[in-house]
Amino acid sequence: MNIFKIILISCLIITANFSYAQYDKNKLQMKGQIDSLMNSKLISETGIDQTTADKFIEKYKENNKQIRELKKEKKEVMKLIKADPSALDVGTKLDKLIDLDYEIFKNRKAFMEDLNNFMTPQQIAGTIVFMNDFSKEFRKRLKKNRNGNRN
């Protein structure tokens, strides 16, 4: 009986490992497809060349990652403030929020200045508008697919 339980548990663990590995593989494959689609649409809709598009996407991803981290930190500080707005150190937390907002601003400004090194202002405007529209449309379709899968 104990051997049967051990074999059953081992099979469950192995099956779980395979399913998680498959999920990661599919996620990476999907991410690659999204990146490829974004790159090709960026080139076709803004008229920039492949090299410029690659540089832009690289810089855009770096900047987005930094801003997401700062926003995550800001959210945590805000959570602490909401949890106890009458705390003695609330002033310090408010100062931290302002500092984080300023860091986000500095990152965005540095991103724009970095783009000026290899793009014209018109190209920058076009790519920023494109990325904004692409992100909105992507989120809209994701939401639609998620809602469609629930029904």
> What's the pLDDT tens digit per position in 86-133?
999 999 999 999 999 999 999 999 999 999 999 999 999 999 999 999
Question: Between these two residues, 30 and 10, which has the higher pLDDT value?
Answer: 30
Integer-rounded Cα radius of gyration of the chain: 23
Whole-angstrom distance, CA of residue 127 vs CA of residue 134: 10
Question: What are 17-43's pLDDT values in tens digits?
Answer: 555 555 566 777 778 888 888 899 999
Tokens describing residue 20 = 């998680």
> pTM to 2 decimals?
0.74
Tokens describing residue 54 = 């690659």
CB-count exposure of residue 44 (10 Å: 0-12, 13-18, 19+): exposed
pLDDT score of 104? 96
Q: Is-contact 111 57, C-beta < 8 A?
A: no
Q: Is-contact 41 130, C-beta < 8 A?
A: yes
As a whole number, the mean pLDDT across the chain is: 86
Whole-angstrom distance, CA of residue 145 vs CA of residue 137: 12
pLDDT score of 15? 62
Whole-angstrom distance, CA of residue 109 vs CA of residue 114: 9
